[in-house]
Amino acid sequence: MKACRPVRIEAVIWLGLALCLTLTGCRGCSSVPTAPSDQSGPPVIRIAGSEASCDLGPVQPSSKHTIILEVDNPADTPLRFRTVRGDCECVSAIDPPTQVDAGGSVKITVSYVAPKTAMEYESRLLIVTDNPGRKMISLRIKSSPPAKRAAPAGSAAATQPSASAPAQ
């Protein structure tokens, strides 16, 4: 008989919370974009609650994107981060802080790499904290495939009638 390998309870909780967030989706996010998406820098998403989202819109396959997540701590005690990681390899935090001081905020640089195949996609950055009232902070990142280009006027595809068009 094989000996059972011990499983860290933290890993089980992490997996359960990630699965729960993935299945339930965002309900009443309290995120506030603090920078326009058409500016030259990365979008800044501010969060004081537990969930935020950032829709990057159409992106090229395998393209790299940066998002700044600003986490506020309105509490009178520090908010310590136990873990900060993406739910897949495409999302990561670059040198994340370990806590947010009482009444303060921190900025976390988030890296997102679009899927290799053009498709609708969603992933999350998950932050597990030591605060019982705010166990997890989640940034949901969405992207969509780039729009298909219309055939240029005068090209063979643009001048040929469609199969449903009546012949003249």
Answer whether 143's CB lies under 8 Å from 119's CB: no
Of 123, 109, 110, 116, nearest in space to 60 by CA: 116
pLDDT mean for each 10 residues of the chain (168 residues): 48 48 36 46 90 95 96 95 95 96 96 95 96 94 86 56 47
- CATH number for the domain spanning 128: value is 2.60.40.10
Q: How many domains does the chain have?
A: 1
Residue ranges making up the domain that contains 95: 26-148
Q: What's the DSSP call for residue 120?
A: -
Summarize pLDDT for 81-100 with one digit per residue, the tens. 999 999 999 999 999 999 99
Summarize pLDDT for 96-115 with one digit per residue, the tens. 999 999 999 999 999 999 99
Kindly state whether residue 165 falls inside one of the protein's structural domains. Answer: no
Kindly state whether residue 10 falls inside one of the protein's structural domains. Answer: no
Supply the pLDDT for residue 150. 62
Supply the pLDDT for residue 153. 63
Strand 136-144 to 121-129 pairing: antiparallel
Supply the pLDDT for residue 41. 83
83-111: burial string, b at 16+ Cβ within 10 Å, e else: ebbbbeebbbbeebeeebeeeeebebebb
